[in-house]
């Protein structure tokens, strides 16, 4: 058995051995290539195994899936995938045809030198199983571009100066590899990234979505976005962010619009981490400053919401919520103004941001569900903070959750992240305590008292029209909203009371109306 450092289970080795014998039986040359070789040399886990081979790829993949008891899936162009599962383990074999007349020519067509390493499949399995040695495995690798040396020096280097022109998605892959494997991007590759960054919009939106969400999925997403920006890629991907760079804000804000947007992603992660800490840790957090117990109460409320299946901490730090935090102030880039007294304003920036967020999410192939949530954050992130300036009325709470439903929980939490990112390193003030308390009140009412603020209707629109001889139109909606607000305030409890209430309303609206 191979040494534990290779992180290969006996089941994985068994599947790979069977696969290697299969290609021998078929009389086809087969090589382990790309990411599987890279991860083995780095002593890191590998789930996806890339195999370059001769022959009819799709036919071979179908036969291999049958041999292994797995599933066959055609991929792009002539490549095919075989998926094998056993209990909680999964192994993916990606088969692709050899490019060129030799494995060396094939490797020279790949993106980065660390991915341009191969090993003959059969010999590799002998080294990994019989000899149980990664050193023996390393010795038999085919490495025309010195990828092993770059791996040893933790360097990311392109195979040719046309790497990004052949497939501009590699621009984002370069950043992902550098971050994931802690590689330094060498100067010439850096120059080529910046030279070819303009090509990024040519990539299919689905592929851009996958790479962006991969970056956002990891903890420390704000730092990853900054790294992306350092190569000029972030605002190529989302050009709507660029006008915010250097755009000053009122004195309460520590950062310009662009930096504030990036910081909001970091503070959302910070908020989520704090809310999942032990109670004694939360009590000592600066976010709990003021001693009101709001953060502890919010934590308990969110746990109850998880049990009700209307909230999850996993979604709070999901790519779509981090993207929402990044875009929450996108409307400021089109509403910036300076009044006669020199005050900076961003009037109606939430509303201005909605079409921008809609277009950005469309362009990045964000799902309809996620896009709607992101637009809701953009449109309503100011409301909890605005409510904190006044007493929070039952009517305001009800309208907030009528507009947003369960997504109101996430909007309220992003509003807290927005507040934190506004302050930067500056100490939190009484305004934070008020904002935090308002969010606690909002969540309490929705999570524990939802039936009171959003009671079931006591009368339907059809019955209103029939009983009061009304015509369909806006008036019906106005009456139903007035009934719902009266229910939430405890004024109406029965259908009979509703009928009297409607009659009185109609008399006010239509004084000449006959009873």
- Distance of alpha carbon 350 from alpha carbon 331, whole angstroms: 6
Q: Give residues with Cβ within 8 angstroms of 48, minimum separation 6.
A: 35, 36, 92, 94
Q: Note whether 92 and 49 are within 8 A (CB).
A: yes
- Assign a CATH topology to domain 154-237: Hydrophobic Seed Protein (1.10.110)
pTM: 0.88
Contacts of 238 (CB under 8 A, 6+ apart): 326, 327, 360, 364
Local structure of residue 242 (DSSP, 8 states): G
Residues 39, 43, 45, CA angle at the centre, nearest 5°? 60
* 3-class SS of residue 341: coil
Indicate if the alpha-carbon torsion angle 272, 278, 279, 281 is positive or negative: negative
Burial of 495 (0-12, 13-18, 19+ CB in 10 A): exposed
| Separation between Cα atoms, residue 446 and residue 454, nearest integer Å | 8
The token pair at 355 is: 């079409």
Partners of 73 in beta bridges: 81
The rounded distance, in Å, linking the Cα atoms of 93 and 10 is: 17
How would CATH label the architecture of 1-146? Answer: 2-Layer Sandwich (3.30)
Mapped onto helix, strand or coil, the DSSP state of residue 155 is strand
Pairing type for strands 89-97 and 48-53 reads parallel
Give the distance, in angstroms, between the CA of residue 20 and the centroid of all CA atoms in the same chain. Answer: 38
Sign, CA torsion 331/333/334/340: positive
Q: First vs last Cα of the chain: how many Å apart?
A: 90
What are the boundaries of each domain within the chain? Answer: 1-146, 154-237, 264-453, 461-509
Select from 401, 393, 409 the least CA-distant residue to 455.
Answer: 401
CA 393 to chain CA centroid, nearest Å: 34
With CA atoms as reference, report the closest residue to 311 among 419, 442, 210, 188: 442
Which residue's structure tokens are 């000053």? 248
What is the side-by-side order of every strand in the sheet holding 48-53?
A: 71-74, 80-86, 89-97, 48-53, 30-33, 118-120
| Residue the block writes with tokens 């195979």 | 159
Residue 1 has a pLDDT of: 32
Residue 73 phi, psi (nearest 5): -145, 120
The per-residue pLDDT string of the chain (515 residues; one tens digit each, 9 = 90 and over) reads 334 344 588 899 999 999 999 999 999 999 999 999 999 999 888 889 999 999 999 999 999 999 999 999 988 777 999 999 998 889 999 999 999 899 999 999 999 999 999 999 999 998 888 766 677 888 899 999 999 999 999 999 999 999 999 999 999 999 999 999 999 999 999 999 999 999 999 999 999 999 999 999 999 999 999 999 999 999 999 999 999 999 999 988 999 999 999 999 999 999 999 999 999 999 999 999 887 899 999 999 999 999 999 999 999 999 999 999 999 999 999 999 999 999 999 999 999 999 999 999 999 999 999 999 999 999 999 999 999 987 788 889 988 998 999 999 999 999 999 999 998 888 899 999 999 999 999 999 999 998 888 777 778 888 888 888 888 888 888 888 888 888 777 788 788 888 888 888 888 877 666 55
Query: Helix, strand or coil for residue 2?
Result: coil
Instruction: Please determine whether the domains at 1-146 and 154-237 fall in the same fold group of CATH.
Output: no
Q: Which two tokens stand for residue 44?
A: 């890191």
Separation of alpha carbons 490 and 497, rounded Å: 11
- CA–CA distance, 138 with 106 (Å, rounded to integer): 19
Instruction: Tell me the C-alpha distance between 265 and 324, whole Å.
Output: 9
CA angle 285, 288, 291 (to 5 degrees): 125
Whose tokens are 């689905």? That residue is 206
Give residue 7's pLDDT: 59
By C-alpha distance, which of 144, 346, 143, 384 is closest to 252?
346
Query: Which residue, chain included where needed, has tokens 């006591």?
Result: 458
């Amino acid at each position: 058995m191979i040494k534990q450092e290779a992180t290969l289970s006996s089941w994985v080795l068994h599947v790979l051995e069977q696969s290697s014998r299969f290609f021998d039986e078929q009389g086809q040359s087969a090589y382990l290539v790309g990411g599987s070789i890279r991860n083995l040399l780095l002593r890191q886990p590998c789930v996806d195994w890339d195999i370059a081979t001769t022959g009819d790829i799709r036919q071979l993949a179908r036969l291999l899936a049958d041999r292994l008891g797995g599933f066959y899936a055609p991929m792009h162009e002539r490549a095919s995938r075989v998926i094998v599962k056993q209990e909680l383990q999964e192994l993916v074999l990606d088969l692709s045809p050899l490019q060129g007349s030799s494995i060396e020519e094939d490797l020279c067509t790949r993106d980065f030198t660390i991915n341009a390493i191969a090993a003959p499949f059969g010999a590799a399995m002998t080294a990994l199983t019989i000899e149980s040695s990664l050193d023996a495995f390393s010795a038999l690798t085919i490495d025309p571009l010195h990828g092993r040396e770059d791996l040893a020096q933790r360097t990311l280097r392109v195979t040719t100066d046309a790497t990004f022109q052949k497939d501009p998605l590699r621009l984002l892959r370069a950043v992902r590899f550098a971050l994931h494997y802690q590689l330094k991007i060498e100067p010439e590759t850096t120059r080529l990234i910046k030279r070819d960054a303009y090509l990024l919009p040519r990539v299919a939106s689905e592929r851009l979505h996958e790479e962006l969400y991969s970056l956002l999925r990891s903890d420390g997403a704000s730092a990853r976005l900054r790294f992306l920006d350092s190569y000029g890629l972030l605002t190529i991907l989302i050009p709507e962010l660029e006008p915010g760079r250097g755009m000053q804000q009122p004195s309460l804000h520590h950062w310009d619009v662009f930096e504030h947007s990036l910081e909001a992603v970091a503070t959302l992660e910070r908020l989520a981490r704090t809310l999942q800490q032990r109670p004694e840790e939360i009590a000592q957090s600066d976010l709990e400053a003021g001693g009101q117990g709001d953060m502890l109460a919010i934590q308990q409320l969110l746990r109850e919401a998880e049990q009700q299946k209307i909230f999850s901490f996993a979604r709070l730090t999901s790519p779509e919520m981090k993207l929402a935090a990044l875009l929450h102030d996108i409307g400021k880039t089109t509403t910036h103004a300076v009044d006669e007294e020199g005050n900076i304003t961003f009037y109606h920036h939430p509303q201005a941001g909605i079409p921008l967020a809609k277009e950005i999410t469309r362009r990045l192939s964000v799902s309809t569900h996620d896009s709607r949530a992101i637009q809701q954050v953009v449109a309503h992130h100011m409301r909890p903070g605005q409510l904190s300036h006044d007493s929070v009325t039952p009517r305001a709470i009800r309208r907030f959750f009528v507009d947003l439903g369960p997504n109101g929980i996430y909007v309220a939490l992003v509003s807290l992240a927005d507040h934190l990112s506004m302050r930067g390193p500056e100490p939190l003030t009484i305004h934070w305590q008020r904002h935090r308390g308002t969010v606690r009140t909002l969540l309490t009412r929705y999570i524990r008292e939802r039936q009171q603020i959003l009671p079931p209707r006591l009368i339907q629109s059809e019955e209103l029209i029939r009983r009061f001889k009304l015509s369909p139109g806006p008036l019906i909606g106005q009456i139903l909203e007035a009934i719902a607000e009266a229910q939430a305030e405890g004024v109406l409890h029965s259908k009979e009371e509703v009928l009297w209430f409607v009659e009185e309303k109609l008399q006010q609206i239509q004084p000449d109306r006959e009873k």
